[in-house]
Amino acid sequence: MKIRELVVATKNKKKMQEIRDLLKGNGIKLYSLADFPDAPNVREDGKTFKENAAKKAVRIAKFTRKLTLGEDSGLEVKALNGAPGIYSSRFSGWPKDDQRNNRKLLRKLKDVVRSSRGAAYKSAVALADINGLIKVVEGACSGIIGDAPKGTCGFGYDPLFIIPKYKKTFAQLGEKIKHTMSHRAKALDKIKKTLIDL
C-alpha cells in the first residue's frame, strides 16, 4: 500500500491523538503542527466552524505544500442560544483550560432544568492542498449537559456531555464508544473517501 501523507493543522495533542485513532488503517502517515515548528499561527476568527476549519487547512497547506486537514469543533447549548459555539475552547478566557470552561458552563446552567439542557457537539473538517480548498464537511452529536463532571476519558466538555442512550458522559463511555458516534468521527467519516482518493 502506498503511504500517503497528511498534515493535521493542530497543536492540540489530545485532538491529534483522536484524529490519529479515527484515521488509522488507511495507509496515511499523519503529521501535526508539532512537526512544523515554523508554521504560521492561524487566527481562528471565522464566524463558523466551517470557516475556521477551512482557514486552517488552506493556510497550512500553502506553508507545508502537503495535503492538509483542518478541523474546528465545539459545543452548542440550546439554553445558551448556541454558546459557547466557536468560542468553546476559550470560553473562560486565556490560557485555554478545560476544567475552567466546564465550571463556567455549569454556572451558566445552574438554574436550567435537565430537560432544557440539550446540546450538540459540532465538528467541521476541511481538506486543502497547495492549490486551495478541496472540501469541507460537518458532523454533529446530540446530548445533554449534566450537573457535574463525570468520567476521566476524553477532553473538552466530555465529562459533562451525556449521551441519552447510555445515560453516561463521553468521559465515562471511553474512546471505543465515543469513536463510533462523536461529531468528529462523523465528520471524518464523511471526508474519508475524498481523502483516500487524493
Tell me: the pLDDT tens digits for 14-29?
899 999 999 988 788 9
Helix intervals (H) in 65-174: 98-108, 170-173
Where do the domains of the chain lie, and which CATH numbers do they carry?
Answer: 4-197 (3.90.950.10)
Specify the DSSP class assigned to residue 84.
B
pTM: 0.92
CA–CA dist 45, 82 (Å, integer):
17
CA–CA dist 9, 69 (Å, integer):
6
Q: Is 72 a catalytic residue?
A: yes
Strands (E), 101-149: 118-129, 132-145
Q: Which of 21, 35, 38, 72 is catalytic?
A: 72
- Which whole number is the average pLDDT over 73-91? 97
